[in-house]
Amino acid sequence: MKKKLIIAVASLSLLLGSVPGITAENEALANSLDDKISDVKEKRSEIKSKQDETKDKIEELKEHQKQLDGQIKKLDMQVADTQGKIETKEDEIQQTKEEIEKLKGEIEVLKKRIAERDEMLKSRVTAMYENGGSVQYIEVLLGSQSFGDFLDRVFALNQIAEQDKQILEAHRADKKAVEKAKKEVESKLEGLKKQMDELEALKDELNAKVQEKNALLSDLKAEEEQMHAHLHKLEDEADLLAKQQAAFVAEKRRQEAARRAAANSGSTAATPTVTGGMFMKPAAGIYTSGFGQRWGEMHPGVDIARNGSVPIVASAAGTVIKSYYSTSYGNVIFIAHYINGQTYTTVYAHMRKRYIGTGSTVKKGQTIGLMGSTGYSTGQHLHFEIHQGSWNVNKTNAIDPLNFF
């Protein structure tokens, strides 16, 4: 039959019968403890198997990590290559911007020359209009004093005409140069936009590869942490089982010693009178939270709160399974009890101080610590649980303590 994960340790509150060898009840209780010890051994074996299995999975995960290392290295190389392309593209963009600025400067120079020529040509046209235009050329020629003077005047007029022609040609060339430069600027601006788009695409590609790498690393880290957390949990449960087995063995020895003492004295050892039922309220104070559903999840015990230095006592006689600090429970003590043929486990959590250690035996009402607010606690109180049978991480054996008080 499948047992719970953790078996409760037998307490010293066992009711001894008459002289051993003639009391069947004592023999039955001893046999029951043997069964409990055997069950704990079986559970320890199961936990050991799970630990080995988890360690194997961790090794498999490490091998998987080695395989992913290759992918990560490849991504690193791709990231470096993309970063190099981005730097090259940024240099190209900067060069294009400089070329555009240079062309804009050349355009301004050409515009200035064109504007100056426009003014000169306007002045020349105005003068020609005021002097009668081309008629004056005939008058100049007809007014020559001699043939030599005539030739000189013709030559002078040709020079003026040639100069006008050169000015006009230079004017047209500059205007064409301006148009060409403007088109080149427009082309470079269009190329610049394309380069900027390519740069953004490269950056997006870079971000995608970085995110892919980070996702791989995150998944690996989460999986590894989960495996190690599971292994730690198994190790903690294995430790608790080992202590329970030791406590069972110690309890069996105590019972055997008690029976021998009873046989030697020739009398029957009496069980102390248990006042207030099987369990007593473990601390003074008010109940601030009961057993059952709370905030959408199961609350497997009761909370008792009171200010000041409040002692906590054992709710029943028993043997301490474990006394330690837990992240969730804070300072916590687990006590196992064996009452009327049934095993129970009580839990005392969030204590300020613990006065007893693992393996200790306690009497009902014995002070074991002080109320506090350690672990997952926001105010001073005692979180108290009773489990019928063993304690387990899912708290499936938890019962309402108020049924006993």
Query: Is 51 part of a structural domain of the chain?
Result: no
- The answer to whether the CB of 382 falls within 8 A of the CB of 306 is no
Q: Crossing angle for the helix pair 147-265 and 24-130, nearest 10 degrees?
A: 170
Point out which residues pair with 302 in neighbouring strands: 384
Whole-angstrom CA distances from 12 to 32, 74, 272, 341 are 14, 65, 11, 13
Per-residue pLDDT at 228: 66
Same domain, 186 and 307: no
Same domain, 86 and 212: yes
Query: Is 53 part of a structural domain of the chain?
Result: no
Task: Return the residue matching tokens 């020559």.
Answer: 144
Same domain, 199 and 315: no
The secondary structure of residue 304, as a DSSP letter, is E
Same domain, 325 and 209: no
Query: Is 374 part of a structural domain of the chain?
Result: yes
pLDDT tens digits for 286-338? Answer: 999 999 998 788 999 999 999 999 999 999 999 999 999 998 899 999 999 99
Query: Is 298 part of a structural domain of the chain?
Result: yes
| 18: phi then psi, degrees, rounded to nearest 5 | -80, -165
Closest C-alpha to 345, from 401, 305, 303, 403: 401
Same domain, 93 and 157: yes
The count of C-alpha atoms lying within 13 angstroms of the C-alpha of 137, restricted to the half-sphere facing its C-beta, is 12
Give the integer Cα–Cα distance in Å for 203 and 358.
Answer: 61
pTM confidence score:
0.38
Per-residue pLDDT at 363: 93
Domain count, the chain: 2
Give the DSSP letter string of 114-132: HHHHHHHHHHHHHHHHHTT
Domain around 195: 67-218
Q: Which two tokens stand for residue 175?
A: 């205007």
| Final residue belonging to a domain, choices 195, 218, 241 | 218
Find the farthest-apart pair of alpha carbons in the chain and give their distance in angstroms, rounded. Answer: 175
Per-residue pLDDT at 17: 35
Same domain, 274 and 402: yes
Same domain, 84 and 194: yes
Query: Is 255 part of a structural domain of the chain?
Result: no
Digitized pLDDT (tens) for each residue of the chain, 405 residues in all: 333 333 333 333 333 333 334 345 556 666 666 777 777 778 778 877 877 877 777 777 667 666 666 766 676 677 778 777 788 868 877 887 787 787 678 778 867 777 876 676 666 656 555 555 544 555 555 565 655 555 555 555 565 556 666 766 776 787 787 788 778 878 877 887 888 888 788 788 878 877 876 776 676 666 666 666 766 677 777 777 777 777 767 766 766 665 565 544 443 333 224 467 899 999 999 999 999 998 788 999 999 999 999 999 999 999 999 999 998 899 999 999 999 889 999 999 999 999 999 999 999 999 999 999 999 888 899 999 999 999 998 999 999 999 998
Give the integer Cα–Cα distance in Å for 329 and 374.
Answer: 7
| Final residue belonging to a domain, choices 218, 233, 256 | 218
Same domain, 184 and 124: yes
| Final residue belonging to a domain, choices 184, 218, 252 | 218
Same domain, 214 and 301: no
Query: Is 57 part of a structural domain of the chain?
Result: no
Same domain, 203 and 280: no
Query: Is 254 part of a structural domain of the chain?
Result: no
Same domain, 171 and 283: no
Same domain, 213 and 274: no
Contacts of 24 (CB under 8 A, 6+ apart): none
Q: Crossing angle for the helix pair 135-142 and 147-265, nearest 10 degrees?
A: 140
Query: Is 244 part of a structural domain of the chain?
Result: no
